[in-house]
Amino acid sequence: MKVLCVVLSLCTLLAFSQAHPVNGTYPGGKCDDVRQQCNATLIGAFCPQCDSKGNFLPKQCSGSTGYCWCVDIFSGKEKENTRTPPGTKLNCGGKKRCPDGWTNHGDKCFIFIDTPKRWTDAEVYCRFDGANLASIHSDEENYFITSLTRGDTHDFPQSWLGGFDAIQPGFWLWSDGSEFSYENWHENEPYDDDDDDEEKDEGDEKDDDDEDEDDHDNSDEKHHDDDKDDRNKKDKKNCLRINYEHGLKWFYAPCVDTLPFVCAKKADDDD
């Protein structure tokens, strides 16, 4: 009986951990999470309105008072000096127009493609729609794109973005030409092979001085092979993916890997 209780307790803990988001992500969006708690515990309290992705609608209104206000769509935090009395027109941001299947955020339209492709093929696919692989420039945009990849499965698949360093290892660019001014790398990423190459070269030189001519030749041959391996490693690991491990951070991987991806393009102003 004691063993059965322990097993049941572990199953309960596992179910609870899977039912709650990891590291601040919400399976149904934060608004859905707040709304569920509100409906379950607070009778008569204000419950926020949510969009289809589980985020807050930019304009929130109280049914009991008639007051409306603007909020941040991810946190739900009320924006200062936006609360207005009943009957007052309130614009919580100009709406942008996106094609069917695309999702608006800021001045861009985004779409998540769950068909795995190599990075270059994914970029070509986006360009056929007048887009590029997505670039990220803020925490808010990073959270939005991460949420977009969630889809209906509540998983966060590793996915391509538009980052690459194929031109020069360690020098990262976005495929849409925008500035690479924001980063959200996993710990110890992006890995810099150059430092290890320098240390390795110094070690090889010291060893060569202590060996005879035959050993020196063998060491040179091995050293050249190692350099070739290092170059191949750099050539392969030069494209950016997101949703790495529990932190859903950035990581870089061989561009020939096939992953889902996110496209982005400029949104049209709604007339």
CA pair distance 162, 126, nearest whole angstrom: 10
Contacts by 58-67, CB closer than 8 A, 24 or more apart: 58/92, 58/93, 59/90, 59/92
Does position 262 have pLDDT exceeding 70, yes or no?
yes
Q: Tell whether 104 and 186 lie within a shared domain.
A: yes
* Residue 204 counted as domain residue: no
Q: Tell whether 51 and 137 lie within a shared domain.
A: no
Would residue 228 be called left, alpha or beta, if left means φ above 0 and alpha means ψ between -120 and 50 degrees?
Answer: alpha
Does position 203 have pLDDT exceeding 90, yes or no?
no
Given 93, 121, 150, the domain boundary residue is 93
CA pair distance 66, 93, nearest whole angstrom: 20
Given 93, 110, 134, the domain boundary residue is 93
- Mean pLDDT calculated for residue range 35-61: 80
* Residue 200 counted as domain residue: no
Query: What pTM does this model have?
Result: 0.55
- Mean pLDDT calculated for residue range 143-169: 85
Domain with 80 in it: what CATH number?
4.10.800.10
CA pair distance 189, 237, nearest whole angstrom: 11
Backbone angles phi, psi at 161, to 5 degrees: -115, -175
Over residues 51-76, the pLDDT tens digits come to 877 888 888 998 888 899 998 888 88
pLDDT at 237: 59
Q: Tell whether 106 and 150 lie within a shared domain.
A: yes
* Residue 3 counted as domain residue: no
